Homo-oligomer: A and B are copies of this chain.
Amino acid sequence: MADDPENCCQTLAIDPAIRADALARLRSIRGHVDGVLRMLERDDVYCVDALKQIKAVQGALAKTSDVVLRGHLKHHVVTAHERGDDDAIVAELMDVLKYR
């Protein structure tokens, strides 16, 4: 069971400080997406201005992902061998990381 990459580790919860940080970032990202929506509701919006805003949102999402990833490595991955779920935790992590 521990080696099933589909649900090895669902009982490992995110660290509270990491969760609070990720929540704050995602709330800001939601506001940013709202801003891009308002921009695109104007029929005279310029393509490159929309592309710049989308790129900024992607950057903010990448930082949020980095925060969660760092917490996962620190709180769950480095202890996986002790728990015995190392094969599963590596498989599911590679699924998320590859070509990102």
Binding site for B on A (CB under 8 A): 9-10, 12-14, 16, 18-19, 22-23, 26-27, 29-30, 33-34, 36-37, 40-41, 43-52, 54-55, 57-58, 61-62, 64-66, 68-82, 86-87, 89-90, 92-100
Contact = CB atoms under 8 A, between A and B. Distances in A.
Contacts of A23: 37, 40-41
A62 to B, nearest CB: 6
Contacts of A98: 62, 66
A82 to B, nearest CB: 6
B44 A54 contact: no
Contact of A77 (B27, B77, B95): B77
